[in-house]
Structure 1
């Protein structure tokens, strides 16, 4: 028997659809911040509940939990920016830069022509940096607005997340409430799986990398460990670009013993991933590596740097919802 769509298209339903469409038009520009806020809220909420058990004030507990979770992330970004600027400054002030100028001066070419080209290039680079700075300042208001929406989203999702779910659940037909509840639990499993199986694994391997590189005497050992942890988040990559780069640097520098040790240490980092990741995520949803790879690579193209987090999560949640629908409505009828 066919479904009479006209019977559902009454004035209240049409008004609701119209208002939802209009609302989505307003929400879409900041949708990435709202999604990220919901994800962070899920991670912050257990911390807020523990603090609230002692303080008894929900708002203060949530704010303290947000500080405890978000401030380390901000400090990490600041540390990475500081170390990158230090590396660039050290390179420009190093003997390598001076040796390069000396080498150029000994070449049988027109030095004046080279200097003119360098000055022209420097002028173009300066214009580009100035234009970039102007564009950045013009976008500062948008960045501030995004951060404000992110903070507000985290706070209210932590405080009223259950109310939001119950509000949505009231619109679900009675015969589909079980599917909705199972989907919500599956989404939670996906979040826990990605957090414990991927983010926490990256943190552990990054700590191992920082300790190992520092003990081996590499400059910026902690920074190299941070980069190792970040690369560990990206499927296919892992820590190998870091330790292979250090290996070849030591080979070219003639430090063969340390080159062999850092290579063995890198193999150790790559190997323990096969044990840490399954041990942490085996109790939750298993996400196929291809889904995570596409999410990590395509997420930044859609949502910018936030896409590194939102991309794999959205694809993982989508896969889980489709899998639940397949089991509930398709395979369940067989």
Structure 2
């Protein structure tokens, strides 16, 4: 029995059960989900600012805690300023949503009528079913923006806590790690510190590169859509930039709404928009991404796809965005444990 408990496979089985149990609790218990979401967002903000903090400390003699507070305040100011600039434009574009939804509905119905002219009973049933689905989807789409505003207001307290938690992660990250290590046996602490440093190197590089790439994609997409005079350029560029974080599936998620809206204007504009997105994807994938990202993830494509599918099932689009960073952490832990312990 003791031999089984000490075996490598038994330890991995216990780890797997613990992770599965954590996922179930996360999905079922709302208070835990909301608390962990605040911690996770705060951690990402602090992690994104950590390289900048280290660079400044190398060049300027300043109190690290004071610098952490300045960086958090600067980030809050940047986010609030960005919202102040973007929200009026986004609201202005959102006013036209009802009109575009009517156009989309009319466009789809005209296609349906053409198809319906074919005398086929089965096809008629399919078309009626599709019309019902499309109407439901359009109603949900029209109310989604306002639902998002309400959701943000409901989570105002949680959002107010995020800067405070981010500050403590940024200012006392090393202390928090050392304190948490006290629960472990002395001989294991060095290994955990090495694992933490390796995660820090890989994950920090990945997060930084994804933020830069998303900003570049947003700017390129926005300029291109303005030139092509496609409606909702700001919304569509933000969607494309954020979706671009998701490997493989992300570009497709970014393309669909833009092509659909362009198609309402004219098939020619849809083709031009498709070429624009293909051009941006080519530039990002072949030129910009290798220079910025390099091989920061170093994971097999099949592993990435499996992670994305699991992430989508657990947390939807947000789950897909977080799947790769979490996968990177698990990969580093697995490799380091194999090397240092087994």
TM range (shorter): 0.5 to 0.7
Aligned pair partner of 1:147 in 147, 159, 163: 159
2:275 aligns to what?
264
2:294 aligns to what?
282
2:97 aligns to what?
88
Structure 2 segments unaligned to the other structure (5+ residues) = 6-25, 114-134
Distance 1:200 1:80 in 2: 23
Q: What displacement does 1:214 show?
A: 1.4
The answer as to whether partners of 1:294 and 1:312 remain within 8 angstroms in 2 is: no
Distance 2:296 2:247 in 1: 19
DSSP-derived class of the 1:218 partner: coil
- Between structure 1 and structure 2, the one with the greater Rg is 1
Aligned pair partner of 2:217 in 205, 208, 229: 205
1:117 aligns to what?
none
Report the aligned-residue RMSD.
4.8
Could you list the per-position Cα deviations for residues 23-51 of structure 1 after superposition, in whole angstroms to 9, with x for gaps in the alignment?
x9998341221122112111123445649
The answer as to whether partners of 1:186 and 1:285 remain within 8 angstroms in 2 is: no
| 2:320 is aligned with 1:315 | no
| 2:170 is aligned with 1:158 | yes
2:8 aligns to what?
none
The answer as to whether partners of 2:311 and 2:319 remain within 8 angstroms in 1 is: yes
Relative to structure 1, is the Cα distance of residues 317 and 59 closer, same or farther in structure 2, using a 3 angstrom cutoff? closer
- Any residues of structure 2 matched to 1:44-59 within 5 Å, and which? 44-47=49-52, 50=56, 53=60, 57-58=66-67
Relative to structure 1, is the Cα distance of residues 310 and 36 closer, same or farther in structure 2, using a 3 angstrom cutoff? farther
Relative to structure 1, is the Cα distance of residues 152 and 166 closer, same or farther in structure 2, using a 3 angstrom cutoff? same
Distance 1:143 1:301 in 2: 23
Structure 1 segments unaligned to the other structure (5+ residues) = 6-23, 105-120
The answer as to whether partners of 1:172 and 1:180 remain within 8 angstroms in 2 is: no
| 2:32 is aligned with 1:28 | yes
Distance 2:296 2:280 in 1: 24
2:48 aligns to what?
43
Q: What displacement does 1:317 show?
A: 0.7
Aligned pair partner of 1:224 in 236, 244, 248: 236
Count residues with an aligned counterpart.
Answer: 284
